[in-house]
Amino acid sequence: MLTNDRGPVLEFQKRTGYLLVAALLGHLLLISAQVSSQQGASVLETTIFGALSRVQALTAWVTQGVTGAWGNYVALKGHRARADALQLQVDRLGVELQHANSQARRAEQLEQLLHLQRTELPATMAARVIAADPAAAFRTVTIDKGASDGVRRDMAVLSPLGVVGRVIDEPAAHAAKVQLIIDRNAGAGAFIDRTGAGGVVVGADSDAPLRMEYVSNLSDVAIGDLVMTSGLDGIYPRGYVIGRIEKAERGSSIYKLIAIRPRVDFSSLDTVLLVTGPQPAAALPARTAAAPGPATATTPRASTPVTPAPRQASPLQTPAAPAPRQSSPPPAPLTPTPRPSTTPPTPPTTPAPVP
């Protein structure tokens, strides 16, 4: 036995030893309960989360006040030129918007002529991001809206630039946890906009934070192609931008190895939108037939590849712009990329959960 001048090295009070054993056993039981039931220790976790999220909201308010005072009063020198440039950009976008509106009206008329189901905007609710995950291994954020605001588990979370993630765990009264789509346990049904090739986008611990799986080696995939949500996972509405393909290689199996650069800048999320209302009607037939259950926190990659019909690129899809920090006022509801009116409904497929 190891000893020193004060006696055996590892001789400590018995009470401490018992306490250690009890604490370790308690933790192991807690972990086992969650892993075996897949439900999570909702009461304990929600209580601690609810209490600490209040402190987080207060800290975020103070921090934002300090940084806001600096940004709004001190750091505004030399922004005149930037404002002029942005005004020019607004003018140019106004013209583009007029063109897009006329195209949308035309598409609407064609939809009516062909008796197609209308694509509608989902109802959204703005929320502010107040904190990040304390562990670097997970990519989650805390938002300042919770169960009392109508937030529920598995609600999709979007931003004006694209898909952000989904609500995981039971939300507290005034806060909820959002799993970002770049988390290694996150997943979403997706398709490549140019060709319609379907697959599943999952988080990756690599340079490109997303990868697309289950896209056949025979599919036409090019670098720069836009990847969008297919709506077949039952969480994310169809037609929202996930990102652009950064790398596409032929895989050793039958599927390609595709790396995606997300459109949303996850390091500067400020305000996000929760999808509270019904999803676009256009995607309903496929989802109703598939009837997938909401993915659990530990097994979210619950989709098999789906192959929507080939589609034309939409005129409204703009190239990926550098992600600006989203402004503090709640942004306007998102405009989903309109589907071409001639596209037939997606064939029903049944997603099978991946263990």
The binding site for other proteins (CB under 8 A) comprises: 4, 6, 9-10, 12-13, 15-16, 19-20, 23-24, 27-28, 30-31, 34-35, 40-41, 44-45, 48-49, 52-53, 55-56, 59-60, 63-64, 67, 129-142, 168-169, 177, 179, 183-185, 205, 267-268, 297-298, 355
Checking DSSP bridges between strand 176-180 and strand 241-249, what pairing results, if any?
unpaired
Nearer to other proteins, 236 or 266 (CB): 266
Nearer to other proteins, 191 or 266 (CB): 266
Q: Which is nearer to other proteins, 191 or 236 (CB)?
A: 236
By DSSP bridging, strand 176-180 and strand 210-213 are: unpaired
CA triple 254-165-277, angle to 5 deg:
115
| Minimum distance, C-beta of residue 72 to other proteins, in the bound complex (Å) | 15
143 close to 127: Cβ distance less than 8 angstroms: yes
CB under 8 A, 24+ apart: contacts of 114-120: 114/341, 114/342, 116/282, 116/341, 117/281, 117/282, 117/284, 117/285, 118/281, 118/282, 119/239, 119/280, 119/281, 119/282, 119/336, 119/338, 119/339, 120/278, 120/280, 120/281
Least separation, in Å, of the C-beta of 149 and other proteins? 19
Distance CA 261, CA 182 (A): 10
Q: Closest separation between CB of residue 261 and other proteins, Å? A: 17
Q: Which is nearer to other proteins, 34 or 219 (CB)?
A: 34
CB of 317 to other proteins, least distance (A): 27
> 38 or 318: whose CB is closer to other proteins?
38
Tokens of 304: 């098999």
Selection from 242, 334, 337 nearest residue 282 by Cα: 337
Q: How far apart are CA 25 and CA 21, in angstroms?
A: 6
CB of 163 to other proteins, least distance (A): 17
Q: At its nearest, how many Å lie between other proteins and the CB of residue 27?
A: 4
Q: What is the nearest approach in angstroms of other proteins to the Cβ of residue 11?
A: 9
Q: Which is nearer to other proteins, 134 or 319 (CB)?
A: 134
Q: What is the 3-state secondary structure (H, E, C) of 315-355?
A: CCCCCCCCCCCCCCCCCCCCCCCCCCCCCCCCCCCCCCCCC
Give whichever of 113 and 321 is closer to other proteins, judged by the CB atom: 321
